[in-house]
Each structure stands twice: as C-alpha cells, then as structure tokens.
Amino acid sequence: MSVAAVAHKELRQLSRDPRSLMVLVVLPAVMTLLFGTVLSLDVRHVPISVLDRDGTASSRALVAALTSGEYFELAGHATSDSELDALLLAGKVTIALVVPKGLERSLVTGGRPAVRAVVDGSNAISAQTALGYLEQYVTDFGARLDGERPEPLLSARLRVLFNPELASDRFLLPGLMAMILMVSATIATALSIVKERESGTMEQLRVSPLSAAQVVLGKAMPYSVVSLLAAVLVMATAWLAFGLVVRGSLLLLLLLAGLFVVGAQGLGLVISSVTRSQQVAFQLASYSTLLPSFIISGFVFPLRSMPRALQLLSAVLPVRYFISGLRGVVLKGAGLAVIWPEVAALALFATAMLGLAIWRLHRSEL
Amino acid sequence: MSVLVPLRGLMLKELRQIRSDRVMIPVLIVAPVLQLFIFGYAATMDVTRARVAVLDLDRTPESRAVAERLGASDSFELAARVPTADAAEALLERGKADLAFIIPAGLGQAMSAGEPAEVQLLVDGTESTSASIGIAGASTLIEGLAAEAEARRATEVESARASVEVRRQVLYNPDFKSRFFMVPGVLAVVLLIVTLMATAMAVVKEKELGTFEMLVVTPVPRSILLAGKLIPFAVFGLLDSVLVLLVSRFWFEVPLRGSALLLLGAALPTLLCTLGLGLLVSTISRTQQQAMVTALFLVMLPLLYFSGFIFPIESMPRLVQPVTEVDALTHLLGILRGVMLRGAGLGELWPSLAKLTAIGAITFAAAVALFRKRLG
C-alpha cells in the first residue's frame, strides 16, 4: 500500500514538471529517429579513382561495370601514378585502380592481364569489404568475356535467414534502441534521487514510517512505467520510420523491455546512493552506461572478437542481454524457449540492483 | 599586466574548485585513459572464425572432403554436426552457429559422374558484416573444391580461359586492423567529454550556487571572467589529448606518421568549438540536470553519430551527408586519421583545417555573444 503512496507522490511530482516528463518519454524516440538515419555499416558509394593506361573499349567497359552498381563511385580519372598517390593520401578516394596498357590485346590473345588496386586500408572494415566487391566485379567481368563456361562441378545455393538483404541497419537498430533506453532510464532515476537529496526532501522520506523497500520500489515504479512508455515509443518509431518489423511475440518484447527498464532504474538508484552531487551522479551514470552500452555490448562490435577479459566484463552488463534478446525476438522471431537465458539474466540484474538499492537505503546511505 | 593578475586568480580558483571536487580528477584524468583502453581492445571488427554446422546427408569421400576442408580452414570453425536440416536452423536461431552447410544425398555420385552438384548454404544474416564475410569465405572454399574436382576429371589440358586478375596493394594499414581506425576517434571523444561537458557543468553549477553573481559584480572584465573559467578546462583537454596520444602510440602501436604539431593545430580550433558549445549549453540551462541532458543528448551524441566516428559517411543517405559538413568532429577526425594513419600534411588537409577553424570560431563567437547578452 505504501509503495503505491510513494509511487503516487512521485507521479504527482513528475506530472508537475511536464517538460521533464516529455523529455523522458519523447526524447528517446526522437534520438532513435535522428540516429537511425545514419546507422549503417553497409559499404556503399566507395570513392574510387581510375588510371586507364589502356584506353580501349575493354578497359572502359571494365570501369563502367565497376561503377554501374551502388558500391563504387567514380571520383574521377587520374593521369599519373603520382596523382593517384596524392588522392589516396588526401583521403579523397579509398581505392585507386590502375588498368595496364595492353589489357585488351592481352584479353584477345587469351592472356591473363591483371589490374592493380591500391587500397587505403585505414578504415579496415570498409576497405576490406570494398576490395572484396572489387575483386568480385573484376572476376565477373572476366567471366562474362568467356561466354560459354561450363557449370562448375560444385556450387553453393545460398539461403540467408533472418536478414535476407544483409542490411546492417536491421542489426544495429535494436542496439541503438537499447543504448538510448539504458542511458535515459539510468540518468532519469539517478537525477531524481539526487535532486530530492539536494532539496532536502529525502530526509522527510527517511523519517517517515516507510521501509527502505517501500521507498525504493515506490521510486522505481513510476520511472519504470515512464521508461517502458518510452520503450514502446522507440519501437514504434523503429517500425514506422525504418520498417523494423517484429517477427516474434510483442508480449515477449514487452517483458524484455520491462525487466531491462526496472534494472536500469535500480542501477540509477544505486549510483545515486554512492554519489553526493548531481554532477558526479551524472558523470558516473553516463560512464557506467553510455560507454559500455556502446562498446562492449555487442551493439556495433561483435563480442566474439573481443579479448576474454572484456567478454567477461560484458557478461555483467544487462544491456548485452537486452540487445541479444531484442535481436532474437525482432529479427529471428525467437520465442521464450530460445531467449530464456536473456530473460533470466535481465531478471537477475533487476533483482540485484533493487536489492542493492534497498540495502543502501536501509543503511541510510541513499 | 593589470588584466593578467585577475585572470591568474580566476584560473587558480577554478583549479582549486576542480581539486576540491573529489570525483573531478578521476573524471578528468583516469576516465579518458580508461576509455582508450576499453576502446582500443573492444572496438574491433576484425573477423574471427565463423562457426559452421554441417549436415552430411551424403556420406561419401566427396562430402567428407567438404567437412575436412572446413575444419582445416582459417576462416571457419566446425561447431557441430547435425542430423537434420531443422536442427541446423535451430542452431542458427539460437546463435550457436553462424552458418550451416547442408550436403545433399547423391552429391558424391553426381560429382564423380561429372554432373554439377549443389551444397546448400544457410546463413544467419543478423550480423550483416560478419555474415557477408562468412559467405565470401564459403564461396571461395566451394570454388576451390570445384576447381580441384574439375582438375581431377580433366583428361586434357584445358584451353586457357579469359580472365582478369586483381593485384592488390594495401597502403597505411596492410593488416586491416580496425583498431587503427577507431583509436584516433577516442581522442576526439575525450576532447569532447572533458571540455564540453566539464565546462557546461562548471558554469551551471556556479549559477546554481549563486556564486556566479558574485563573480559578475567584481570589477573584472567579462572577457577575463570567461577566460578564467574556460582556460583550465582547455588545458585539461589538451593534457588528456597528449596522454591519449601517447598511450595509443606506445601501447596500442597506432602509427603517428605525420606531424604532431599539425594535430595540435587541429586541437585548438576544436577546443574553441567544444568550449563554445559547453558555454552555450550552460547559458540556455538553468539547472545542472538540464545542462547534462542537453549536453549529452542534444550536443554530444549527434556530434558523434554524424561525424563518421563509427558509421561511415558514404553509407549515410544523401540527404544527411551535408549535415556531416557542419559537424566539427567530422573534420577533426579527418585530420586525426589523415595525420596519424596516412601521414598527410597541411597540403592535403588544409580544407578540413579551414572548415574546422571556421566552425570553431563561429560557434565560440556565437556562444560568447549569447552569454554576454544573458548576463547584461
């Protein structure tokens, strides 16, 4: 009953500040919309420059074949090697292609001419992928010249599951959603507590006949509802603006989001219990949520490529389980039978954080 | 001279305030280095072995050769042998395997009879980048097996086939280490957090405490007041940058091929921009809470996302690309990566430096103007 009373008080406080409420509910969705537009690791429009020493119909056809798709964009023809080097050094092009003199003649006489691709490797992933596409294009070009080539003895029939277009934004969107929710939920609670302490009303709560558990749950509940509302809005945005369709059960998605949000509130409470001023609470909240949820959560960088120590560190982060659970439900249509480990981990984290917050408050450190 | 005395006093006051805040020092010094370490080790997209499940419905020497080749390959790891196609799909759904080879019955027979055969390849497309690389690896492996089978069958030397080869030459980062690309970005992030966030917070805090009023009524000119507030954070920003640069150079062995002086030249206009933004945030915020939310969500995250820090600008929609031009970080990153990785100099990078300077000057001027207007 008293949990409800604290929650009621908290809700009234929130509703008296409609601007903050708007920020908490709407800002995550706006962020999703804003950042969703740039969220792509697909390699597209890679700028290339060509030095065509052959200048024949064949060499022109090769260049035309390369730039016909959306992978490469011709940034211009160069006239010398040094011009290509300068373009690469200035970062104007990623690949410089040199077509040797005598390409056409060699092709006609059955030779195996080679073109030279000079690659700026500084952006490792883009460069590597672009080079792969380039080699594929050039090989295909050669094969087309050959006309009737017998079918190979062994070939692969490809079926891509879950994300047939291999679009990186499908994979990144759930991560972005999790990151935004984690940050906004944690910061919101941390600030609400510190604010209460700075304005002295925390003392009043403490001398009231409420138990620590009642205060903590009463504080966490309204913010969890607000954050859950924000989560629903974020998912609706991802669906409406970026066509991210949920393959699995919406109810399961809500369960994941609910557990995650409660855990984030709990973390916010714990953070505010160890800090004294808003500034510090904020710095701690943003370092402990933003950085890990960006880097070691599997949002962008695959967890399996990381050193073991960081993998272990990420195992205690709720955002990691939220992201993989979201991906499971949204992209793969996975059910509880598949993602129960994620659900269990999130539940465990939420319980632990709330428990810790209650314990801290009980020792009147909140 | 008369101007420098109050400036010195103000800066000392600021430093004392920073020192008295128990958590400021860790945030200003320990956190940037910690960030670099986490980033340096975690921000890697270097591909590990893809986990493969194999379903062999054929059980002939030819089909076993596929599995053997997979096990021996550097790009794959034989994760499981499954009895049915459903089991293979279930492994992919659970994320226990990245791709599955399904070898149909009759493959060996067909191949020995010289008829074309097909292996079915199931791929989990969720992680699109590693999935593409896995698909490319699998295709190469199968092409190799096909070529060997054809070579075994060929009774006469085939006439040479027309083909064009690609000779690759990779500059600047021949081993394709993604760390090289990411670490210069951390330098930018550190500058951003330390200067922008700390300035915004420090000014608003003083506003909240009411001590700002006291400063304003002192006979010290406003510009000196401002300089005394901002310079200490600028110095911290520069010190942190040097620290991060040293760690990235000597611990992570990220090259520094160009001139360190040019890096410093890029850091100065960036500082103008970040300090200006911090001042701007503090001017429009009444409370520290507002300043935090504004600085993080409306300034820092957009600056990061639109800068090409992680998500390449070429891949963004055409409509969004002009936006990246007004982002100071875009140009700072261009210079950092250009100088550190490619060894580019002023001759190549002056357009970025010019844009960065313009953005910094305009932002700072606007912030100071607004700040003075609000004060007066």
Q: Each residue's pLDDT tens digit in chain A (366 positions)?
A: 577 887 887 778 777 777 777 878 888 888 888 888 888 888 888 899 999 998 888 889 889 988 888 889 898 888 998 999 888 888 889 899 999 888 888 888 877 888 999 998 888 878 888 888 888 888 888 877 766 566 677 777 777 778 877 788 888 888 888 888 887 777 777 666 666 766 767 667 667 777 777 777 887 788 888 888 888 899 899 899 888 888 888 899 999 999 998 888 888 888 777 766 666 666 666 666 677 777 888 888 888 778 888 888 888 888 889 998 998 898 888 888 888 999 999 999 999 998 988 888 776 655
Chain A residues closer than 8 Å to B27 by CB: 283, 287
Q: Where along chain A do its domains lie?
A: 6-39+167-362, 46-143
Per the rule left: phi > 0, alpha: psi between -120 and 50, beta: everything else, A72 is: beta
The residue among A72, A97, A123 with the most chain B CBs within 10 A of its CB, best to mutate, is A123
Contact A156 B89 (CB under 8 A): no
| Strands of the sheet with A95-99, listed across from one edge | A72-77, A46-52, A95-99, A114-120, B165-171
Residue A163 DSSP label: -
pLDDT over 90 percentage in chain B: 10
Q: Best residue in A84, A154, A331 to probe B by mutation, most B CBs within 10 Å?
A: A154
Q: Which amino acid is at A320?
A: R
Which class is A46-143 in CATH? alpha beta
Across the A/B interface, how many CB contacts are shorter than 8 Å?
321
Position B159 scores a pLDDT of 47
Chain A: residue whose CA lies nearest to B334: A91
Q: B173 and A124 in contact (C-beta within 8 Å)?
A: yes
- Cα-to-chain-centroid distance, residue B198: 22
CA distance to partner chain B, nearest, from residue A284 (Å): 9
**What residue in B sits closest to A42 (Cα-Cα)?**
B315
pLDDT-derived band at B157 (thresholds 50, 70, 90) equals very low
What pLDDT score was predicted for residue A350? 92
Per CB-CB distance under 8 Å, the chain B contacts of A89 are: 342-344, 348
pLDDT at position B27 is 67
Task: Say if CB A332 and CB A174 are below 8 A apart.
Answer: no
Q: How many Å lie between the alpha carbon of A119 and the closest alpha carbon of chain B?
A: 5
| Contact between A332 and B163 using a beta-carbon 8 Å cutoff | no
B301–A35 C-beta distance less than 8 A: yes
- Taking the C-alpha atoms of residue A268 and residue B257, their distance in angstroms, rounded to an integer, is 44
The DSSP code for A45 is S
Instruction: Give the domain ranges of chain B.
Output: 9-44+176-375, 50-153
Right CATH for B50-153 from 3.40.50.2300, 3.40.50.970, 3.40.1710.10, 3.40.50.150: 3.40.1710.10
Residue A31 and residue B297: Cβ atoms within 8 Å? yes
Query: At A48, which helix (H) or strand (E)?
Result: strand A46-52
Q: In DSSP terms, which residues pair with B122 in a beta bridge? A: A159, B100
Which residues on chain A are in Cβ contact (under 8 Å) with B344?
A: 89-91
Q: What is the pLDDT of residues B42-95, one digit of tens each?
A: 877 766 788 899 998 888 888 888 888 888 888 888 888 889 888 888 888 888
Q: Could you read off the pLDDT of B169-205 as tens digits, one per residue? A: 788 888 778 888 888 888 888 788 778 887 887 788 7
Closest Cβ–Cβ partner in A41, A118, A171 for B169: A118
pLDDT at B359: 94
pLDDT reported for residue B343: 86
- Which are the contacts of A5, defined by CB distance < 8 A and separation ≥ 6? A218
Instruction: Give the sign of the dihedral formed by CA B128, CA B130, CA B131, CA B136.
Output: positive
Q: Which residues of B fall within a CB distance of 8 Å from A107?
A: 162, 164
**Separation between Cα atoms, residue B34 and residue A39, nearest integer Å:** 26
Q: Do B165 and A328 touch (CB under 8 A)?
A: no
Single out the residue of A57, A218, A28 nearest to residue B296, CA to CA.
A28
